[in-house]
Structure 1
Amino acid sequence: MKKILKSTILFVALVFLISCNQKETTNDTSPCPSVSTIHPVRGNIQESKQLNGQVIYLNKTTITAPISGYITEVNTGVGNWVVKDELLFKIQTKESKALQNSDVSVPNQFGVIPVFASVSGFINTLNVTDANVFISEGNAMATIVKNTDLIIQVNAPFEYASILDNRQDIVIELPNKEVLHAVFYKAIPLVDPISQTQQIYFKLKKQTTLPENLNVLVTFSINKKRESLLLPKDAVLTNETQDKFWIMKVTLDSLAIKVPIIKGIETDGKIEILNPLLNISDEIIVTGGYELPDSTKIKMN
């Protein structure tokens, strides 16, 4: 009887061991998620702000009619470059025109007054485009602007005024994606009562001709850090409300562990990691980490 009991116990134990081995084998052979990893790097990072700006010409020179009369010549056009003392228009007095149309013989240029450019620059607006048009004394005929008077104007929140003061590293992006560089010029000591914004002026480092009222993007840094620990944006995971952030750190070559982090400066492609302090030799999952549990076995590509 005892022999039969011993045999039964041994049989049950053997079956139990075989069953456990089968379960362990099944668990070991379950597929592990494939991931790609990357190492943290140390580098420089900066936080930038972008504001809308507009091209304006701070000073404009208006050419006005010195007398009332009829335009006899128009020697310029919009966008033309003119130099100081260049002939722009000719105006004939009413009396001269009346005599010219009578039987009285008068010199050809009698009563004709030339109008010259008072400064060098570009013709920004042209109010008189054709001859034989009457114009009254003092009326605007044209406006001249100079490249040196070209300004980029930004309506910036008041708190940015101190940040932008004396800055030499302003980036201007045109609608065609061309990038120009500018420096701080002046801040107007007046704040809009509704928007609480202040007009800030920038001058281009290299004189360039741009159309007035052109909309541009003005970019400037507000925070710079050197030798920070950086990770690609894809390596940082977050919850639905985006108020918690973490990374998946690989240990023992095949075990991924969730590590909560505190972010610092964030750019389009990189994120500064303030806490915890990572080593540049750490393996951090950059692809394949989405929806992984807090701790899991993985297979690295």
Structure 2
Amino acid sequence: MNKYFKLIYGGLAALITLTSCNADPDAETDVPSPVTPVQVTHVADSSLSEYVELSAVSAYLEKSFVKANINGYIEKANTTTGQKVGGGQKLFTLITKEARSIGNTVNKLDPGFKFSGISIIRAEQGGIIVQVNHQKGDYVQDGEALATISNRNSLVFLLDLPYELNQIIKQNGNLTVMLPDGTSLPGAVSGTMPAVDSLAQTQRYIIKVPAGKDIPEGLIAKVTLSKLSHSNAQVLPKSAILANETEDEFWVMKLINDSTAVKVKVKKGIENSRITEVLSPRFSKSDRIITSGNYGIADTAKVKIQQ
């Protein structure tokens, strides 16, 4: 009997030994959760606006043509391209071919006749001569264009606005035109063209700027239009807003106590280079939102606030 019990005890001891030898040394053990150091902030209220920047091209809407009023030769030409002229300034002197050939002979026969055949052409309005078509000695016909003058007071900038943005132009009556040299001009929308470009689907608007500054035609400037504006927006630093890979879902990590952060989905609004508007949910001013150390941490993560 004792021998029988000895065999049983020996078998149990061998079984226990084999079990302990086959135990997995890599078996999982309870490991404390990692604690992430973070920095926090609070929501604030701020005025935010969203803008769209477009290009506008300078142009002179009014151009006058200096034309010959007789058939004859240009005896004098006081014009050069780029010259500023005033209203009534003498530009050309014409002489008929008859006067040029026999005028002096007639005057010698009868000095009291005072036959000259000369016509003086003056500028109808002040501006800048942008084109000169004829020079001294050219023969011209009645009504032929001698030069072209751009009216300096007709300077505008032409803005081609995408038609889907045509509603925002109404809230941008007064705007700023930024020139390539860094200077800016105050502008105002004075009209629009009643047509849309069939390919680009843009509509042309006329921006009137103050006269007096010498600006070449065809200069490309920048015009900034206010697209959306919120005067009392709930904002957070951009670093507080996290997003998925496709950037169609956004969230923040909010502290529910001094050591636990939870994931809260948010809806973004207007943003700039520093801050982002949070449309929903509405946070309390006392809520603590993580701004540093929030990337990659899981919901209900353990954190430690750093000052």
Cα distance in 2 for partners of 1:80, 1:286 equals 61
Say yes or no: does 1:47 pair with 2:53: no
Does 2:151 correspond to 1:146?
A: yes
What does the per-residue CA deviation read over 1:245-290, in whole Å, with 9 as the maximum and x for residues that have no partner?
A: 1223345445443322101123343321011112334433334433
CA distance in 1, matches of 2:149, 2:138: 21
The corresponding residue for 2:119 is 113
Q: Does 1:87 align with 2:93?
A: no
Q: Is the 8 A contact 1:257 1:296 kept in 2?
A: no
Partner of 2:13: none
Question: Displacement of 1:60 after TM fit?
Answer: 1.3
- CA deviation profile, 1:15-64 (whole Å, cap 9, x unmatched): xxxxxxxx87xx59x6744x444332211112222332222222211112
Match of 2:195 in 1: 190
Letter paired with 2:306? M
Q: Tell me how far apart the structure 2 counterparts of residues 186 and 250 of structure 1 sit (CA, whole Å).
A: 54
How far 1:85 sits from its partner (Å)? Answer: 0.4
| Aligned-residue offset at 1:228 | 0.8
* Counterpart residue identity of residue 184, structure 1: V
The answer to whether the 8 A contact 1:183-1:205 is kept is: no
Amino acid at match of 2:95: Q
From 151, 161, 169, the equivalent of 1:164 is 169
Counterpart in 2 of 1:217? 222
Structure 2 Cα separation of the partners of residues 51 and 272 of structure 1: 24
Runs of 4+ in 1 over 6 A off after TM superposition: 104-109
> Which residue in 2 is equivalent to 1:123?
129
Distance 2:46 2:71 in 1: 69
SS in 1 for 2:88: coil
Matched to 2:126, the amino acid is S
For 1:142 and 1:176, the matched residues in 2 are separated by 30
Q: Which runs of 5+ in 1 are unaligned?
A: 1-22
**1:59 maps to which residue?**
62
Structure 2 runs not aligned, ≥5 long: 1-29
Q: Relative to structure 1, is the Cα distance of residues 147 and 43 closer, same or farther in structure 2, using a 3 angstrom cutoff? A: farther
Please give the alpha-carbon distance, in whole angstroms, between the structure 1 residues aligned to 2:292 and 2:133.
Answer: 63
Task: Tell me the CA shift for residue 105 of structure 1.
Answer: 6.2
Distance change in 2, residues 1:229/1:63 (3 Å): same
Question: Match of 1:148, SS?
Answer: helix
User: Contact between 1:55 and 1:213, CA under 8 Å: does it hold in 2?
Assistant: yes
TM-score, with length taken from structure 2: 0.74
Deviations along 1:49-102, one digit per CA (max 9) or x if unpaired, are 233222222221111222343333332333333221011222333334445899
Task: Report deviation, 1:109.
Answer: 10
Identity among equivalent positions (%) equals 32
Q: Secondary structure of 1:234's partner?
A: helix
- How far apart are the structure 2 equivalents of 1:207 and 1:283? 55
1:1-301 equivalent positions in 2, closer than 5 A: 27=32, 32-33=36-37, 35-99=38-102, 110-128=116-134, 130-165=135-170, 167-204=172-209, 208-294=213-299, 295-301=301-307
Describe the SS at the equivalent of 2:64. strand
Aligned partner of residue 261 in structure 1, secondary structure:
strand
The code of the aligned residue for 1:62 comes to: F
> SS in structure 2 opposite 1:95?
helix
Kindly state the Cα deviation for residue 229 of structure 1 after the two structures are TM-superposed.
0.6
Query: What is the distance in 2 between the residues matched to 1:122 and 1:136?
Result: 24
Change (3 A) 1:178 1:257: farther
CA contact (8 A) 1:165 1:184 kept: no
Root mean square deviation, CA, Å: 3.4
The CA distance in 2 between the partners of 1:282 and 1:167, in whole Å, is: 37
For residues 39 and 184 of structure 2, what CA distance do their matches in structure 1 show? Answer: 36
Post-superposition shift, 1:185? Answer: 0.9
What is the CA-CA distance between 1:206 and the residue it aligns to?
6.5
Displacement of 1:173: 2.2
Find the aligned partners of 2:284 and 2:115 in 1 and give their Cα distance. 87
